[in-house]
Amino acid sequence: LGLGISINLYDAEALYNAMKGFGSDKEAILDLITSRSNAQRQEIRAAYKSQYGKDLIDDLKYELTGKFERLIVGLMRPPAYHDAKEIKDAIKGAGTDEKCLIEILTSRTNEQIHNLVAAYKDAYGRDLEEDVIGDTSGHFKKMLIVLLQGTREEDDVVSEDLVEQDDLYDAGEAQWGTDEAKFIMLLGNRSVTHLQLVFDEYQNIAEKSIEDSIKSELSGDFERLMLAVVQCIRSKPMYFAKRLYKSMKGLGTADNTLIRIMVSRSEIDMLDIRECFRLRYEKSLYNMIQDDTSGEYKRTLLNLCGGDDDIAGEFFPEAAQIAYKMWEISAMTKVQLRGTVRPYQNFDPASDAQALRKAMKGFGTDEDTIIDIVTHRSNAQRQEIRQTFKSLLGRELMADLKSELSKNLERLILGLMMTPAEFDAKMMKKAMEGAGTDEHSLIEILVTRSNQEIQEMCSAYQNAYKKSLEDAIASDTSGQFKRILISLAQGAREEGPVDMARALEDAQVLADACNADSGDMEDKFMSILCTRSFPHLRRVFQEFVRCSNKDFEQIIKKEMSGDFKNAMFAIVRSVKNQPSYFADRLYKAMKGLGTDDRALIRIMVSRSEIDLFNIRKEFKETHDATLHEFIQGDTSGDYRKTLLIICGGED
């Protein structure tokens, strides 16, 4: 006990010396505070007050500034008082920071909630429940109040009978809008283990995840709150990994979120959060902090983070379970794909052909009419318009459009007017012509198209350019990358039901290949990833986690290189969640300075009748902004107008 007191006095003195005189020794402050537990910091704070008659937090506030000050002071507060301060800041003033309320109240244990309520009362002399009631409304308010009670059943409370009785499917698909109370009661009170079983049962009955149901039926803050509850039930580390990623991606950093999570989870589950971060985003949390912050603020965050996981290849137990479960959900979920462009009801190809001719006749061009007709017809209807235009007017519609339009609008409208096979063939040709090769385009197209789409594209390529696509790829690429592209260009993926015994066998082959030399490993990976069906590969990747305890994507990242690695990554991402893969491609096409218009046009045109609605949803989920907003801010004029119509909504 005496040694403990002397150490606390020594630390208190070290902090006092770091702050006395002109300026302060920030490195000494951050090194000391980040190398002590919160309980030890409270002892140091008490020792500081008894030794110097001053409050340590007040002195730190005086000496430090900005984000670094907020981070250090946050570390010095007891956890319950830190949460209370965050909640107070979230609900004071004109606006409410709903995301902060959601994050704290959905992720804390019963004991942490009770301590938070008591700390709020002690610090501010106010009742937290009353303040939340006064600042929120509707079902959002009701769910927050339920969570504030801190009455979730403990994890050993699981009843198989109740799992069947707690039928979220009946409360959901048929009764959203009338039975939210059942969802609020169940999600706010049942134990974590119990709800995980309920979610599995829901998946079996509905053939969709509970998250997908919430996204399709709810909106606004209540949707975000219920999704956060579900995500925390499934895995708090994964929930926080997503929050941290969103706080740092894109332009600017949401420092309040970053600080809050790094402070509150540093002694609880930071190692698991790091592993989940790497699992989901193919980049370590350490490296993202390093790239996104600076100075003493960065150093403090990196100390809290504790290590760089980009050098790791194996999972921690928690992350291995999460990875296995993620692939299981991916394998079981039957996603209903939805496009944003549908056939026009009162379709009259002759009328459309005449209207298009009139829009391009004489002086000037009526772009509005062209855009309106082309974007509101399905591709099959556009092909009828092309044929009718030629038979009625004796002219080639594509040639007329090309002569009347220009730049990106011309490329976009012509792309919409081509058949999907013609368009893909043209995109492949563009990717390989000229001095450089656009490897990302080649990968994207060949990885994401079905057997039939690839075969039709190969035929269209031969007809248009009098050369086989395979020969074009062979002459423009080399090595293992050439081999993987030619393999994909055969359009010969297996089809049919998943054979679990064969999936287990393939998983073991891949696991064994990780210990082979690089050439053998690439051959084994290619032979399975390029030929098996996507449903089969989902089961393979799931079982790979079980038999190797390795992160499949991290193996690719560490052991492979160049365009071959990029192609392998694209296959895994598409197998896991193809709309998410396209959402990421669209984000990269528009983020930062300049726009990759070719990629933007290619994806918007090719996915508009297949899964662009799903891509929109994934874009918003991952990037915390809508695809509509990105297009609006990154393009202009008639080109922007056309893209926004194809996008189909603001979400």
- 567-588 pLDDT per residue, tens: 999 999 999 899 999 999 999 9
CB–CB of 18/29 below 8 Å?
A: yes
Last residue of a domain, one of 442, 468, 490: 490
Among the ranges given (161-165, 245-249, 558-562), the one the predictor scored with the smallest mean pLDDT: 161-165
Does pLDDT of 410 surpass 90? yes
The Cα 565–Cα 234 span in angstroms is 31
Q: Considering its fold, how many domains does the chain have in total?
A: 6
Structural domain of residue 610, as residue ranges?
578-647
For residue 17, the domain's CATH number is 1.10.220.10
Percent helix, strand, coil in the chain, to 5, is 75, 0, 25
The Cα 255–Cα 258 span in angstroms is 5
Among the ranges given (65-69, 169-173, 559-563), the one the predictor scored with the smallest mean pLDDT: 169-173
Cross-strand pairs, 314: 550
Residue recorded with tokens 């049962």: 201
Does any domain span residue 30? yes
Does pLDDT of 170 surpass 70? no
Pair (395, 440) in one structural domain: no
Does any domain span residue 26? yes
How sure is the predictor about 1, in pLDDT bands with cuts at 50, 70 and 90?
A: very low
Q: pLDDT > 90: what percent of the chain?
A: 70
Does any domain span residue 79? no
pLDDT of residue 312: 55
Show the CA angle centred on residue 215, arms to residues 212 and 220, nearest 5°.
Answer: 165
pLDDT of residue 647: 96
pLDDT of residue 168: 56
pLDDT of residue 313: 55
Does pLDDT of 442 surpass 60? yes
Does pLDDT of 398 surpass 70? yes
Higher pLDDT: 161 or 129? It is 129
Pair (587, 617) in one structural domain: yes
Does pLDDT of 172 surpass 60? no
What is the token pair recorded at 493? 């993926």
Q: Long-range contacts: 472-481, Cβ < 8 Å, 24+?
A: 472/428, 472/429, 472/432, 473/432, 473/442, 476/432, 476/437, 477/437, 477/439, 477/442, 477/563, 479/564, 480/522, 480/526, 480/564, 481/439, 481/562, 481/563, 481/564, 481/567
The DSSP element (H or E) to which 256 belongs, if any, is: helix 255-265
Region 332-356: what's the mean pLDDT? Answer: 90
Higher pLDDT: 289 or 276? It is 289
Pair (368, 387) in one structural domain: yes
Does any domain span residue 500? no
What is the token pair recorded at 61? 């506030």
Pair (262, 226) in one structural domain: no
Last residue of a domain, one of 181, 208, 234: 234
Does pLDDT of 2 surpass 50? no
304-318 confidence digits (pLDDT tens): 998 776 655 565 556
pLDDT of residue 3: 40
Does any domain span residue 227? yes
CA distances from 607 to 29, 469, 534 (A): 53, 22, 18
Does pLDDT of 138 surpass 80? yes
Region 155-177: what's the mean pLDDT? Answer: 56
How sure is the predictor about 282, in pLDDT bands with cuts at 50, 70 and 90?
A: confident
Higher pLDDT: 571 or 171? It is 571
Pair (392, 424) in one structural domain: no
How sure is the predictor about 147, in pLDDT bands with cuts at 50, 70 and 90?
A: very high
49-72 confidence digits (pLDDT tens): 999 999 999 999 999 999 999 999
Pair (217, 252) in one structural domain: no
Pair (156, 216) in one structural domain: yes
Pair (226, 244) in one structural domain: no
pLDDT of residue 44: 95
The mean predicted confidence, pLDDT, of the chain is: 89
CB–CB of 280/241 below 8 Å?
A: yes
The Cα 71–Cα 586 span in angstroms is 34
pLDDT of residue 182: 81
Pair (401, 432) in one structural domain: no
CB–CB of 198/243 below 8 Å?
A: no
Last residue of a domain, one of 215, 234, 253: 234
Region 393-400: what's the mean pLDDT? Answer: 96
Residue recorded with tokens 């994806």: 603
Does any domain span residue 550? no
